[in-house]
Structure 1
């Protein structure tokens, strides 16, 4: 369950253009990553979509592109690094992001400092470009609007009001 590997694609920064569309191979790689048993269990656990709504998940794809990851480099650790950063950028409550550690590392909390180091490396690979617009997220979602993950909308959850 523990992740001890250095994420692929984070050794050097690759020059990437602005993500203007999701290529089919990127969508397919992201879809495969969502089938990872730990990622799948985390998404099922987050029933209120506080840590993984459709916009936060679209940010994950954007961050993968900005970090210069190729589709074959999409790994569980990258998913949680990107989702953690998306939560840091967009969410007022920071508690839900710490639940990711349990899914990623189980009870081995000694791995958290390593995660924070990888987080810093991931940010550096993106050139500190963490801001993602709503339009960019919607553009990613428009590539395959029927994809199940884009139905993870907080506004549709009973009792949740979004501004």
Structure 2
């Protein structure tokens, strides 16, 4: 299970522990936040090219199918495919914990038209958590926004609204954006470049707790 084996990139994608053993997580991220380098290195000239190449070589992200017996009739056996989901209860728990983060709360309240955070994009956040290979305690605010940014990349034609993520993370400070994109690249790499999430998987994720308030964020219900 991916979440049970820490990714080799977990040090890059998770906050550091303080001397007291507690996770240091500022309410409003900035240069002092544990996942922000004081002087982030510039991206290499081939970074964008490598990113596009990786996406072109991406493997479909559906979980592996298994064959199960649907019915028996004498010596005849009817089989059907059954999807095995990699999403576990702990990934839902991580998602619910991050929904309580003050910056995440403000962002969701701001996105009243659900341009960046409708129920399907939020389902993809949980799917990405299941693929990234970090321990549950390692997921922090930055991972929520990276996953949401990736989901918007994959599903949305209008890319402008997702830029609001930077405002909530960094305010007017634009110097941290290159680091965000570096972490985004590392996050995708930790998922094995599997960024596609089917509608079926999104609906399975929502069915785990169908009464959860976040699944009411449905664009089709907006006048």
The Cα shift of 1:22 comes to 4.1
* CA contact 1:51–1:87 (8 Å) conserved in 2: yes
TM-score (norm 1): 0.86
- 1:41-85 CA distance string (max 9 Å, x none): 000000000100000000001111111122212210000000000
Picking from 169, 173, 177, the partner of 1:112 is 177
Structure 1 or 2: larger helix share? 1
Higher relative contact order, chain-length normalized (CA < 8 Å, sep 6+): 1
- Which residues in structure 2 correspond to 1:110-149 (within 5 Å)? 110-149=175-214
Match of 2:35 in 1: 6
Match of 1:101 in 2: 166
- Which residues in structure 2 correspond to 1:44-83 (within 5 Å)? 44-83=109-148
Aligned-partner Cα distance in 2 for 1:28–1:117: 26
Aligned-partner Cα distance in 2 for 1:32–1:135: 24
User: Which deviates the most, 44-53 or 19-28?
Assistant: 19-28
- 1:62-118 CA distance string (max 9 Å, x none): 111111122212210000000000000000000011100000111111100000100
Q: Give the alignment's Cα RMSD to 1 decimal.
A: 1.7
* CA contact 2:121–2:151 (8 Å) conserved in 1: yes
Where do 5+ consecutive residues of structure 2 fail to align?
1-27, 37-61, 64-83
Q: Say which SS state the counterpart of residue 127 (structure 1) adopts.
A: coil
Aligned-partner Cα distance in 2 for 1:74–1:2: 15
Where do 5+ consecutive residues of structure 1 fail to align?
8-16, 159-163
Picking from 16, 21, 24, the partner of 2:89 is 24
* CA contact 1:63–1:126 (8 Å) conserved in 2: yes
Structure 1 or 2: larger strand share? 2
Match of 2:18 in 1: none
TM-score (norm 2): 0.63
Q: Say which SS state the counterpart of residue 128 (structure 1) adopts.
A: coil
Aligned-partner Cα distance in 2 for 1:2–1:29: 19
* CA contact 2:103–2:169 (8 Å) conserved in 1: yes
Picking from 89, 104, 107, the partner of 1:42 is 107
Number of residue equivalences: 149
